[in-house]
A and B are shown apart, each in its own frame.
Chain A
Amino acid sequence: MQHIFTHDALQNMGSILLGSNVFFGDESLDNIPDLHVSGKLNKLVLGDVSQNTLIQLGDGLPYNVARRRNHSRHL
Protein backbone atom coordinates (compact mmCIF):
# COMPACT_ATOMS: atom_id res chain seq x y z
CA MET A 1 0.00 0.00 0.00
CA GLN A 2 1.73 3.11 -1.18
CA HIS A 3 -0.54 6.14 -0.96
CA ILE A 4 -3.79 6.99 0.80
CA PHE A 5 -5.19 10.47 0.42
CA THR A 6 -8.39 12.43 0.73
CA HIS A 7 -9.85 14.25 -2.23
CA ASP A 8 -11.28 17.45 -0.75
CA ALA A 9 -9.88 20.23 1.37
CA LEU A 10 -10.61 19.64 5.06
CA GLN A 11 -12.08 16.17 4.49
CA ASN A 12 -12.39 14.24 7.73
CA MET A 13 -11.89 10.54 8.36
CA GLY A 14 -12.85 8.47 11.35
CA SER A 15 -10.31 5.66 11.35
CA ILE A 16 -7.66 4.25 9.08
CA LEU A 17 -6.71 0.75 10.13
CA LEU A 18 -3.99 -1.15 8.31
CA GLY A 19 -3.42 -4.77 9.26
CA SER A 20 -0.22 -6.10 10.71
CA ASN A 21 1.01 -7.49 7.40
CA VAL A 22 0.21 -4.41 5.36
CA PHE A 23 3.36 -2.56 4.36
CA PHE A 24 2.63 1.09 3.99
CA GLY A 25 4.64 3.74 2.15
CA ASP A 26 6.51 4.01 -1.13
CA GLU A 27 9.98 4.23 0.53
CA SER A 28 10.80 7.29 -1.58
CA LEU A 29 12.79 10.03 0.10
CA ASP A 30 10.61 12.88 -1.13
CA ASN A 31 8.18 15.42 0.24
CA ILE A 32 5.07 13.75 -1.14
CA PRO A 33 2.94 12.43 1.72
CA ASP A 34 2.23 8.73 1.66
CA LEU A 35 -0.78 9.34 3.86
CA HIS A 36 -2.61 12.63 3.54
CA VAL A 37 -5.85 13.37 5.37
CA SER A 38 -6.71 16.99 4.78
CA GLY A 39 -9.15 17.17 7.71
CA LYS A 40 -9.32 15.48 11.07
CA LEU A 41 -8.41 11.86 11.58
CA ASN A 42 -9.65 10.27 14.79
CA LYS A 43 -7.66 7.05 14.77
CA LEU A 44 -4.71 5.74 12.82
CA VAL A 45 -3.33 2.24 13.12
CA LEU A 46 -0.41 1.22 10.93
CA GLY A 47 0.97 -2.27 10.55
CA ASP A 48 4.39 -2.25 8.94
CA VAL A 49 5.68 1.16 7.91
CA SER A 50 8.23 1.46 5.14
CA GLN A 51 11.24 3.74 5.45
CA ASN A 52 10.83 7.43 4.58
CA THR A 53 7.07 7.29 5.05
CA LEU A 54 5.55 10.76 5.29
CA ILE A 55 2.20 11.40 6.99
CA GLN A 56 0.33 14.70 6.67
CA LEU A 57 -2.82 15.37 8.66
CA GLY A 58 -5.20 18.25 9.20
CA ASP A 59 -4.24 20.92 6.68
CA GLY A 60 -5.23 24.32 7.99
CA LEU A 61 -6.98 23.02 11.07
CA PRO A 62 -6.88 25.48 13.96
CA TYR A 63 -3.93 24.82 16.19
CA ASN A 64 -5.59 24.41 19.55
CA VAL A 65 -3.10 24.38 22.36
CA ALA A 66 -4.23 25.02 25.89
CA ARG A 67 -2.15 27.95 27.07
CA ARG A 68 -0.99 28.24 30.62
CA ARG A 69 -0.38 31.51 32.26
CA ASN A 70 3.19 32.08 33.06
CA HIS A 71 3.28 33.31 36.61
CA SER A 72 6.74 34.57 37.16
CA ARG A 73 7.90 35.35 40.58
CA HIS A 74 10.40 38.01 41.36
CA LEU A 75 12.52 37.10 44.23
Chain B
Amino acid sequence: MLNFNPDNYVYLNIDHLGHIYVSGNDVNTGKFYIAKVESNGTPDGIVMSSSTTSFFQTLDANDNFIIRGVHSGSADVDPTSSVLRLPTRTAAQLGAGMSDGYILRIDTFGLDAADPLKFLDNDGEIVTVSLTGSGSAHYNLFGNAPSFSDLDNLELFNTNSGTTLSITTAGSGYLRAAYFHTRCAAKHG
Protein backbone atom coordinates (compact mmCIF):
# COMPACT_ATOMS: atom_id res chain seq x y z
CA MET B 1 0.00 0.00 0.00
CA LEU B 2 1.05 3.54 -0.62
CA ASN B 3 1.04 5.28 2.69
CA PHE B 4 1.80 8.93 2.76
CA ASN B 5 -0.28 11.83 3.85
CA PRO B 6 -0.67 14.31 1.06
CA ASP B 7 -1.96 17.78 1.67
CA ASN B 8 -4.97 19.00 -0.28
CA TYR B 9 -4.54 16.99 -3.43
CA VAL B 10 -2.96 14.00 -5.10
CA TYR B 11 -1.88 14.08 -8.69
CA LEU B 12 -2.45 10.94 -10.74
CA ASN B 13 -0.59 10.59 -14.03
CA ILE B 14 -0.57 7.57 -16.32
CA ASP B 15 2.25 6.77 -18.74
CA HIS B 16 1.94 4.96 -22.07
CA LEU B 17 2.45 1.58 -20.36
CA GLY B 18 -0.37 2.16 -17.95
CA HIS B 19 1.78 2.89 -14.89
CA ILE B 20 0.09 5.28 -12.49
CA TYR B 21 2.24 7.93 -10.80
CA VAL B 22 0.83 9.17 -7.51
CA SER B 23 2.31 12.39 -6.18
CA GLY B 24 1.62 15.11 -3.68
CA ASN B 25 2.88 17.09 -0.72
CA ASP B 26 2.82 16.19 2.96
CA VAL B 27 2.57 19.17 5.29
CA ASN B 28 3.63 17.06 8.26
CA THR B 29 7.03 16.30 6.77
CA GLY B 30 7.34 19.28 4.44
CA LYS B 31 8.19 16.94 1.60
CA PHE B 32 7.01 16.18 -1.87
CA TYR B 33 6.29 12.49 -2.48
CA ILE B 34 5.94 10.39 -5.58
CA ALA B 35 5.19 6.70 -6.00
CA LYS B 36 4.27 4.39 -8.82
CA VAL B 37 1.56 1.80 -9.23
CA GLU B 38 2.11 -0.88 -11.84
CA SER B 39 -0.38 -1.26 -14.66
CA ASN B 40 -1.81 -4.34 -12.92
CA GLY B 41 -2.58 -2.28 -9.82
CA THR B 42 0.38 -3.40 -7.75
CA PRO B 43 2.17 -0.55 -5.92
CA ASP B 44 5.83 -0.30 -6.76
CA GLY B 45 6.57 -0.21 -3.04
CA ILE B 46 9.14 2.56 -3.33
CA VAL B 47 8.08 6.03 -2.29
CA MET B 48 10.48 8.75 -3.31
CA SER B 49 10.60 12.21 -1.87
CA SER B 50 12.32 15.55 -1.92
CA SER B 51 12.35 18.34 0.65
CA THR B 52 10.45 20.67 -1.61
CA THR B 53 6.88 21.65 -2.28
CA SER B 54 5.49 20.92 -5.70
CA PHE B 55 2.48 22.67 -7.15
CA PHE B 56 2.19 20.77 -10.40
CA GLN B 57 3.17 17.35 -11.74
CA THR B 58 2.47 15.88 -15.14
CA LEU B 59 3.83 13.49 -17.76
CA ASP B 60 4.83 14.72 -21.19
CA ALA B 61 4.36 12.81 -24.43
CA ASN B 62 7.65 10.95 -23.87
CA ASP B 63 6.75 9.85 -20.34
CA ASN B 64 9.04 12.40 -18.76
CA PHE B 65 7.71 13.35 -15.35
CA ILE B 66 7.58 17.12 -15.03
CA ILE B 67 7.58 18.68 -11.57
CA ARG B 68 7.12 22.36 -10.83
CA GLY B 69 7.70 23.54 -7.29
CA VAL B 70 9.53 25.72 -4.84
CA HIS B 71 12.53 25.03 -2.64
CA SER B 72 14.66 26.89 -0.17
CA GLY B 73 18.37 26.78 0.42
CA SER B 74 20.28 23.97 -1.20
CA ALA B 75 17.63 21.27 -0.89
CA ASP B 76 17.96 18.20 -3.11
CA VAL B 77 15.13 18.80 -5.56
CA ASP B 78 15.43 15.37 -7.20
CA PRO B 79 13.08 12.87 -5.53
CA THR B 80 14.93 9.89 -7.01
CA SER B 81 18.20 8.43 -5.74
CA SER B 82 20.16 11.05 -7.64
CA VAL B 83 21.01 14.33 -5.99
CA LEU B 84 20.35 17.64 -7.67
CA ARG B 85 20.99 20.85 -5.79
CA LEU B 86 20.31 24.15 -7.46
CA PRO B 87 22.37 27.25 -6.67
CA THR B 88 21.05 29.09 -3.65
CA ARG B 89 19.86 32.63 -4.00
CA THR B 90 19.65 35.26 -1.32
CA ALA B 91 16.45 36.98 -0.30
CA ALA B 92 17.77 40.10 -1.95
CA GLN B 93 18.28 38.22 -5.21
CA LEU B 94 14.84 36.67 -5.04
CA GLY B 95 13.00 39.82 -4.08
CA ALA B 96 10.60 40.49 -1.24
CA GLY B 97 8.04 37.77 -0.66
CA MET B 98 9.37 35.55 -3.45
CA SER B 99 10.28 31.86 -3.23
CA ASP B 100 12.91 29.97 -5.18
CA GLY B 101 11.17 27.92 -7.84
CA TYR B 102 12.23 25.01 -10.01
CA ILE B 103 11.07 22.89 -12.88
CA LEU B 104 12.36 19.33 -12.95
CA ARG B 105 12.15 16.72 -15.67
CA ILE B 106 12.60 13.08 -14.74
CA ASP B 107 13.00 10.36 -17.29
CA THR B 108 10.88 7.54 -15.93
CA PHE B 109 12.77 5.15 -18.20
CA GLY B 110 16.20 6.49 -17.42
CA LEU B 111 19.14 5.29 -15.42
CA ASP B 112 22.36 6.78 -14.15
CA ALA B 113 25.09 6.02 -11.63
CA ALA B 114 22.74 6.52 -8.70
CA ASP B 115 19.84 4.66 -10.28
CA PRO B 116 20.78 1.35 -11.90
CA LEU B 117 18.14 -0.64 -13.72
CA LYS B 118 17.07 -4.13 -12.68
CA PHE B 119 14.42 -6.12 -14.44
CA LEU B 120 13.41 -9.66 -15.29
CA ASP B 121 14.13 -10.68 -18.86
CA ASN B 122 12.25 -13.01 -21.15
CA ASP B 123 13.80 -16.04 -19.41
CA GLY B 124 13.02 -14.74 -15.95
CA GLU B 125 16.63 -13.92 -15.23
CA ILE B 126 17.58 -10.78 -13.34
CA VAL B 127 19.29 -8.28 -15.62
CA THR B 128 21.25 -5.43 -14.09
CA VAL B 129 22.21 -2.40 -16.16
CA SER B 130 24.50 0.02 -14.39
CA LEU B 131 26.44 3.13 -15.25
CA THR B 132 29.43 4.45 -13.36
CA GLY B 133 30.86 7.89 -13.91
CA SER B 134 29.21 10.66 -15.86
CA GLY B 135 26.15 10.39 -18.02
CA SER B 136 22.81 8.71 -18.10
CA ALA B 137 20.80 6.42 -20.32
CA HIS B 138 17.28 6.00 -21.58
CA TYR B 139 16.04 2.47 -22.12
CA ASN B 140 13.08 0.56 -23.36
CA LEU B 141 12.31 -3.11 -23.25
CA PHE B 142 11.27 -5.04 -26.32
CA GLY B 143 7.65 -4.34 -27.20
CA ASN B 144 7.66 -1.57 -24.59
CA ALA B 145 6.94 -4.22 -22.01
CA PRO B 146 7.39 -3.25 -18.36
CA SER B 147 9.20 -6.50 -17.54
CA PHE B 148 9.69 -10.12 -18.65
CA SER B 149 11.21 -8.88 -21.85
CA ASP B 150 14.65 -8.15 -23.22
CA LEU B 151 16.38 -4.82 -23.56
CA ASP B 152 15.60 -3.32 -26.92
CA ASN B 153 17.38 0.04 -26.97
CA LEU B 154 19.77 1.79 -24.65
CA GLU B 155 20.61 5.39 -25.57
CA LEU B 156 23.53 7.01 -23.77
CA PHE B 157 23.64 10.71 -22.86
CA ASN B 158 26.50 12.95 -21.71
CA THR B 159 28.98 10.15 -21.18
CA ASN B 160 32.74 10.59 -21.35
CA SER B 161 35.88 8.49 -21.38
CA GLY B 162 35.43 7.76 -17.68
CA THR B 163 31.95 6.27 -18.04
CA THR B 164 31.40 2.53 -17.79
CA LEU B 165 28.27 0.73 -18.89
CA SER B 166 27.83 -2.74 -17.49
CA ILE B 167 25.09 -5.23 -18.29
CA THR B 168 25.00 -8.52 -16.42
CA THR B 169 22.54 -11.31 -15.86
CA ALA B 170 22.07 -13.44 -12.79
CA GLY B 171 20.00 -16.48 -12.03
CA SER B 172 16.27 -16.40 -12.09
CA GLY B 173 14.58 -14.74 -9.19
CA TYR B 174 11.92 -12.44 -7.96
CA LEU B 175 12.23 -8.71 -8.22
CA ARG B 176 10.01 -6.23 -6.58
CA ALA B 177 9.16 -3.89 -9.37
CA ALA B 178 11.44 -0.89 -9.18
CA TYR B 179 11.53 0.59 -12.58
CA PHE B 180 11.58 4.22 -11.65
CA HIS B 181 14.88 5.71 -12.57
CA THR B 182 16.07 9.12 -13.46
CA ARG B 183 17.66 11.30 -15.98
CA CYS B 184 16.67 14.75 -15.07
CA ALA B 185 17.24 18.36 -15.79
CA ALA B 186 16.17 21.29 -13.70
CA LYS B 187 15.80 24.96 -14.11
CA HIS B 188 15.39 27.74 -11.65
CA GLY B 189 12.08 29.48 -11.79
A residues apposed to B, CB below 8 Å: 1-8, 11-19, 21-22, 40, 42
B162-180 vs A: 1/0 string, CB under 8 Å? Answer: 1111111100000000000
**Chain A's nearest CB lies how many Å from the CB of B131?**
10
* CB proximity of B125 to chain A, nearest CB, Å: 7
**12 A-B pairs whose Cβ atoms sit less than 8 Å apart in the complex:** A1-B167, A2-B151, A2-B153, A4-B156, A4-B165, A5-B154, A7-B155, A8-B157, A11-B156, A19-B166, A22-B127, A22-B167
Distance A14 CA – B165 CA, assembled complex (angstroms): 8
B→A interface (CB under 8 Å): 125, 127, 133, 142, 150-169
Find out whether the CB atom of A15 lies under 8 angstroms from the CB atom of B156. no
B161:A19 contact, CB within 8 angstroms: no
User: Interface SS of chain B: helix, strand, loop or mixed?
Assistant: strand
How close is A55's CB to chain B, nearest CB, in angstroms?
14
What 9 pairs across the A-B complex have the smallest Cβ distances?
A: A19-B168, A15-B164, A21-B169, A12-B161, A1-B151, A17-B166, A3-B153, A4-B154, A6-B156
A1 engages B159 (CB within 8 Å) = no
CA distance A18 to B161 in the complex (A): 17
Residue contact B153 to A13, C-beta cutoff 8 Å: no
Determine the residue in chain A with the shortest Cβ distance to B154.
A4
Residues of A within 8 A of B166 (CB): 15, 17-19
A19 to B125, CA, bound (A): 13
A1: nearest residue on chain B (CB-CB)? Answer: B151
Inter-subunit contact A3/B156 (CB<8 Å): no
Give, as a whole number of angstroms, the nearest-CB distance from A34 to chain B: 10
Contact of B125 among A2, A7, A21 (CB under 8 A): A21
> Chain B residues with Cβ under 8 A from A40's Cβ?
161
Bound form: Cα–Cα A14–B131 in Å = 11
Structural contact, B167 and A19, CB atoms closer than 8 A: yes
Least distance between A42 CB and chain B CB atoms (Å)? 6
**Known A3-B154, A14-B133: A22·B160 in contact at CB below 8 Å:** no
Contacts of A7 in B (CB 8 A): 155-158
Chain B's closest residue to A17 (CB) is B166
B155 touches A14 (CB 8 A): no
